Amino acid sequence: MSHPAIVKDNVAVITGGAAGIGFAAAAAFARAGMKVCIADVDEARLAEAATKLSSVTSAANVMTSAVDVSKIESVTELERAVHERFGRTDVLMNNAGIQPGSTLFDAPDNWQRIIAVNMWGIINGSRIFAPNMIARGKCGLIINTGSKQGITTPPGDPAYNVSKAGVKAFTEALQHELRNTKDCRVTAHLLIPGFVFTGLTAKGRTEKPAGAWTPEQTVDFMLARLEAGDFYILCPDNDVPRALDEKRMLWAAGDIVENRPPLSR
């Protein structure tokens, strides 16, 4: 389908995979014939998601895992369980996130939780899964879900902005590390969704607001970008590249093209 890592019988792990963008990605990977592990903190949603995936693929290709990405031991156990069931991981999508709202002088608990899930979640996932992915010597993908708010840092919800700025910074560090590792065929990517109508953004609305994307549109976009080339940042929003370091990025035809040679596969 869209990328050499996204092929039949390869294994995808998606955190926050029981709903929204994560579930749409899991369904797309399953439709490509991949084995998928949907990992989520919400066990009731996990069961519903597994049932929904049964219309797309066989039960043998799906596993669910109750995980709290903010806890390193929980993510360690996730990797162990995936490898026990499917033997390896080819695609890791660190996507779990929360946005409960924050103010600058909130109690520390709220800030800590937002940063623990959104930022530490992707750090835990990347650090725990990447070594085995690299060691296999095969083509692999790590996709970390950031946010435009981590780049443009608009007023309001500072804890979310900080957490997502951390996702961007960490993913860049990971990408540099992977590219400097001999014979490494794993690449890291930052997904920056636009405004996507999900449980995170619904805020009581039952109808998709004008201008919002569906999770499926977002995943189609992500897969198309991966297919078109190894874009480091997968982002549909034109404001984001304007806010990025222009020395490192070329701005072309509405898309971000990284100013270096294509990544090897």
- Can residue 40 be called a binding residue for ligand NAI (CB under 6 A)? yes
Buried b (16+ CB within 10 A) or exposed e, 31-69: ebebbbbbbbbeeebbeebbeebeeebeeebbbbbebbb
**95, 102, 124, 171: which one binds ligand NAI (CB under 6 A):** 95
Distance separating alpha carbons of residues 34 and 12, to the nearest angstrom: 7
The only residue of 5, 10, 14, 16 in contact with ligand NAI, by rule CB under 6 A: 16
Binding part of the chain for ligand NAI, among 95-103, 171-179, 223-231, 243-251 by CB under 6 A, reads: 95-103
- Contact of 156 with 106, CB cutoff 8 Å: no
Q: Which of 145, 171, 175, 187 binds ligand NAI (CB under 6 A)?
A: 145
232 an active-site residue? Answer: no
Binding to ligand NAI by residue 15, rule CB under 6 A?
yes
The rounded distance, in Å, linking the Cα atoms of 120 and 111 is 12
What would the two tokens of residue 238 be?
């034109």
By CB under 6 A, how many residues form the interface with ligand NAI?
Answer: 30
How far is Cα 179 from Cα 177, in angstroms, rounded to an integer?
A: 5
- Cα separation, 251 vs 239, in Å, equals 11
Q: How far is the CB of 246 from ligand NAI (least distance, A)?
A: 23
Q: Which is nearer to ligand NAI, 93 or 184 (CB)?
A: 93
d(CA 265, CA 230): 9
Question: Closest separation between CB of residue 189 and ligand NAI, Å?
Answer: 14
Q: Can you tell me which of 26, 37, 117, 222 binds ligand NAI, judged by CB under 6 A?
A: 117
The smaller minimum CB distance to ligand NAI, of residues 116 and 257, is found at: 116
Report the candidate in 260, 262, 208, 213 with the shortest Cα–Cα distance to residue 236. Answer: 213
Torsions phi, psi of 77, nearest 5? Answer: -65, -35
Rule CB under 6 A: is residue 150 a binding residue for ligand NAI?
A: no
As a whole number of angstroms, the distance between CA 101 and CA 126 comes to 25
Which positions from 199 through 238 interact with ligand NAI, judged by CB under 6 A?
199-201
Least Cβ distance, residue 145 to ligand NAI (angstroms): 4
Q: Is 75 a binder of ligand NAI (CB under 6 A)?
A: no
| List of residues contacting ligand NAI (CB under 6 A) | 15-16, 18-22, 40-42, 45, 67-70, 95-99, 117, 145, 147, 193, 195-196, 198-201
| Catalytic site positions | 160
